[in-house]
Structure 1
Amino acid sequence: MNSAVNHGPSTAAGAASDQDGLAQEFVQFAIDAGVLRFGEFKTKAGRMSPYFFNAGLFDDGAKLARLAQFYARALLASGLEFDVIFGPAYKGIPLGAAVAVELARQGVNKPFAYNRKEAKDHGEGGTLVGAPLQGRVLIVDDVISAGTAVRESIALIRAAGATPHAVAIALDRQEKATEGGKDVDWSAVQYVRETLGLQVCAIANLAQLLHHLQSTDKFLPYVNAVSAYRTRYGVDQRT
């Protein structure tokens, strides 16, 4: 970023501890906001998940503003550098806009763009709206389920002559992706990192979510179910 934040000397362990603290704070916020729920939910992969994260339920100004603060804190802590923020339709549009506003509030003003699902045939036309896509582009979304949406964003960004550089997401589910209806040994986030070559900045991941549940008796009823789900569908953390 063009406005790097220097907090002085720190160790890798200290940085990891700060990130864990941010993740724990975010998980509790998501629970309080009703965005992170527990029970039985069917995922896109057809699995019965004991938890469900629906970023669409950050549905008022206060929640969206605080969510943007978490994204901004995670991005600033990561040291990730980029030139433009891109919000893919549809959920990525308000997320990207809110993150752009929060970063500007913190002194890191970045251009913002988004896309339409269907090209406009009047006015300025086309599918892209906002700032020109150029340089290193950060894609902002809620989660990465299969990498399909990221590939679509990559195609748009490259077609505009810019470089898809990184993805910022709220939650890394850290679970096996599927291909042809079968589980594979890598997650969608790992696919984006290792195959598509983009950096990924997540506010929190499944391991941190589980750690938060284990930290208080209040969530003990959910710990066994989430642990069992992670054992069955979790990925080996290679990155």
Structure 2
Amino acid sequence: MASAQSLSQEKVTFIEAAIENGVLLFGEFTLKSGRKSPYFFNAGLLYTGSLLSSTSKAYAKILNSSRIPEFDVLFGPAYKGIALAAITAVDLSRQGREVGFAYNRKEKKDHGEGGALVGAPLKGRIVIIDDVLTSGKAIREAIDIIKTQPEAKLVGVVQLVDRQEKGQNTIKSTVQEVEEEFGIPIEALLNLKDIIAYLETKGGYEKELAAVKEYRKNYGIDI
């Protein structure tokens, strides 16, 4: 289990801001997988300048210091991934690292410039930026889009939260399944162990901590 010492001040600040702004919620939530979860991370509520700034900095830091190799384009799947990829491209540019940004439309446009893709051409090395991989359906749809582009190569995925729980039909997590299936690294700003470590350290969240630990006992993976 993660200890208090393993949490950087950046992670603590991010978790506290997420809780304060209702982005990280505790209660009972039905996931895409059908499971009842005692916590939920709603990236749709990352809508203030300060939250977006801290999020983009966290994404940029991972892209500069993780297993993700060199890349040319950030791809943000519609809808939540669009803003996340855009703000990350801006933050990287401020650091002197210029990369492209692209996203897909849910429905293909048949007028104007047309097409289902917007932004930089999907060429070269692509990194997907998204929020949470739950069932894996959405990330596979994004990967399928990249596969349709003959000059594009997917080299990694960065997500907001790794729930570190089993997939539907395996003892492996959705993240592990996707990593093995497509041969790419997947990184996250936070994972479930980080959230548990924060709750243990902060205090005052005994009920929430117990519920999260019970959920992890039933659905978690050993990492």
Q: What is the TM-score normalised by the length of structure 2?
A: 0.91
| 2:39 alignment counterpart | 51
1:98-146 Cα shifts (integer Å, max 9, x gaps): 1111111122111111111111112221111111111110000001112
Query: Matches of residues 133-152 of structure 1 in structure 2 within 5 Å?
Result: 133-152=122-141
Determine the C-alpha separation between the residues in 1 that align with 2:126 and 2:6: 23
Determine the C-alpha separation between the residues in 2 that align with 1:19 and 1:139: 26
1:10-62 Cα shifts (integer Å, max 9, x gaps): xxxxxxx9974143332222112210011111222222211111000112222
3-state secondary structure, aligned to 1:124: coil
| 2:221 alignment counterpart | 235
| 1:201 alignment counterpart | 187
| 2:25 alignment counterpart | 37
| 2:160 alignment counterpart | 170
2:39 maps to 1:61: no
**2:184 aligned partner, one-letter code:** L
3-state secondary structure, aligned to 1:190: helix
Cα RMSD for the two superposed structures: 1.8
Determine the C-alpha separation between the residues in 1 that align with 2:147 and 2:183: 14
**2:134 aligned partner, one-letter code:** S
3-state secondary structure, aligned to 1:178: coil
8 Å contact from structure 1 (residues 186, 235) kept in 2:
yes
Name structure 2 gaps, 5 residues minimum: none
1:180-219 Cα shifts (integer Å, max 9, x gaps): xxxx211111111111222111011001110111002232
Name structure 1 gaps, 5 residues minimum: 1-16
Determine the C-alpha separation between the residues in 1 that align with 2:137 and 2:34: 17
Report percent identity of matched pairs.
48
8 Å contact from structure 2 (residues 32, 135) kept in 1:
no
Give the aligned length. Answer: 217
Determine the C-alpha separation between the residues in 1 that align with 2:17 and 2:94: 21
Query: Matches of residues 1-239 of structure 1 in structure 2 within 5 Å?
Result: 20-21=7-8, 22-78=10-66, 80=68, 81-161=70-150, 162-179=152-169, 184-237=170-223
Determine the C-alpha separation between the residues in 2 that align with 1:18 and 1:114: 37
Determine the C-alpha separation between the residues in 1 that align with 2:178 and 2:126: 14
**1:224 aligned partner, one-letter code:** A
1:75-94 Cα shifts (integer Å, max 9, x gaps): 22215221110011111111
Moved over 4 A (4+): none
